[in-house]
């Protein structure tokens, strides 16, 4: 299925922990499975012609989790980036991030910069990993940049000051895991996004379910406030 009118798709990949707990496994198993699924969904998205795919992998609020889980997620991110590079290059996918990566360890920061550099010439799709990302943090950083410039800003200026300045607004946001909230994710950029919530836990979210959501999305009339 070719999706022409969907430029930017975003996911809140929720439910890894519950997926693992339901099978009496450690939460880390759920995150491993979740990372694999991120790869599967990414490869599908590039195939159907989506130009930008944003994945919420670690929020500014996730630092409140137990230290052991944070450490696991940091290791997983490094592992994911190392493995992902081949997948990205094979599929002509450019890699980018949003969020403040300065809080991460040097090896993780270096891994991010390495994958960005090695995929900078890819043109098929841009995969954007939201890491240490929180919309309020992003907007606060943007406002401070504006203050530094010392002049009045309009909406376009704000868009240009956000981490997402190089990407279009979100067209479709999908959240797995049953909760119906935005959790501080792309509050500005989701202003006119279509929102889909599914009870499916992220590790179980399939290409088939994505196709069903995309079919519904394509029948939605998007008026952006006009008639």
Q: Among 5, 29, 32, 62, which one carries the catalytic annotation?
A: 62
77 binds ligand FPP (CB under 6 A): yes
Give the footprint of ligand FPP on residues 153-182 (CB under 6 A).
177
13 binds ligand FPP (CB under 6 A): yes
> What's phi and psi for 23, nearest 5 deg?
-110, 20
Instruction: Print the SS3 string covering the chain.
Output: CCCCCCCEEEEECCCHHHHHHHCCCCHHHHHHHHHHHHHHHHHHHHHCCCCEEEEEEEECCHHHCCHHHHHHHHHHHHHHHHHHHHHHHHCCEEEEEECCHHHCCHHHHHHHHHHHHHCCCCCCEEEEEEEEECHHHHHHHHHHHHHHHCCCCCHHHHHHHCCCCCCCCCCEEEECCCCCCCCCCCCCCCCCCEEEECCCCHHHCCHHHHHHHHHHHHCCCCCCCCC
Q: Which of the ranges 31-39, 119-127, 162-170, 184-192 carries the binding residues for ligand FPP, by CB under 6 A? A: 31-39
Residue number with the shortest CB distance to ligand FPP?
A: 17
Among 34, 97, 127, 210, binds ligand FPP (CB under 6 A): 34
98 binds ligand FPP (CB under 6 A): no
Give the footprint of ligand FPP on residues 46-75 (CB under 6 A).
55, 57-58, 62
Among 104, 167, 202, 217, binds ligand FPP (CB under 6 A): 202
With CB under 6 A, what is the number of residues at the site for ligand FPP? Answer: 19
Shortest CB 163 distance to ligand FPP, Å: 17
| Closer of 70 and 153 to ligand FPP (Cβ) | 70
> What's phi and psi for 54, nearest 5 deg?
-110, 130
Confirm whether 5 is a catalytic residue: no
Shortest CB 152 distance to ligand FPP, Å: 38
Confirm whether 92 is a catalytic residue: no
99 binds ligand FPP (CB under 6 A): no
Exposure b/e, 35-49, CB count within 10 A at least 16 = b:
bebbbebbbebbebe
The whole-angstrom separation of Cα 13 and Cα 87 is 20
| Closer of 80 and 95 to ligand FPP (Cβ) | 80
96 binds ligand FPP (CB under 6 A): no
What residue ranges bind ligand FPP (CB under 6 A)? 13-18, 31, 34-35, 38, 55, 57-58, 62, 76-77, 80, 177, 202
Residues acting as catalytic residues: 14, 62
């Amino acid at each position: 299925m070719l999706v022409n009118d969907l430029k930017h798709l975003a996911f809140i990949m929720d439910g890894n922990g519950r997926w693992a707990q339901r099978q009496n496994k450690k939460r880390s198993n759920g995150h491993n499975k979740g990372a694999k699924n991120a790869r599967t969904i990414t490869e599908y998205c590039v195939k159907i012609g989506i130009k930008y795919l944003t994945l919420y992998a670690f929020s500014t609020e996730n630092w409140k989790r137990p230290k052991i889980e944070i450490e696991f997620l940091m290791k997983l991110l490094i592992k994911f980036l190392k493995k992902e590079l081949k997948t990205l290059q094979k599929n002509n996918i450019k890699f980018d991030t949003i969020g403040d990566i300065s809080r991460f360890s040097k090896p993780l920061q270096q891994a991010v910069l390495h994958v960005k550099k090695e995929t900078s010439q890819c043109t098929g799709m841009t995969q954007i990993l939201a890491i240490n990302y929180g919309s309020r943090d992003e907007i606060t950083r943007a406002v401070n940049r504006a203050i530094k410039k010392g002049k009045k800003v309009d909406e376009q200026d704000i868009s240009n000051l956000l981490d997402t300045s190089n990407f279009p607004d979100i067209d479709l946001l999908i959240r797995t895991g049953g909760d119906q909230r935005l959790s501080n994710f792309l509050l500005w950029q989701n202003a006119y996004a279509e929102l889909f919530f599914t009870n499916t836990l992220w590790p179980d979210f399939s290409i088939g379910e994505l196709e069903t959501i995309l079919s519904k999305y394509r029948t939605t009339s998007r008026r952006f406030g006009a008639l």
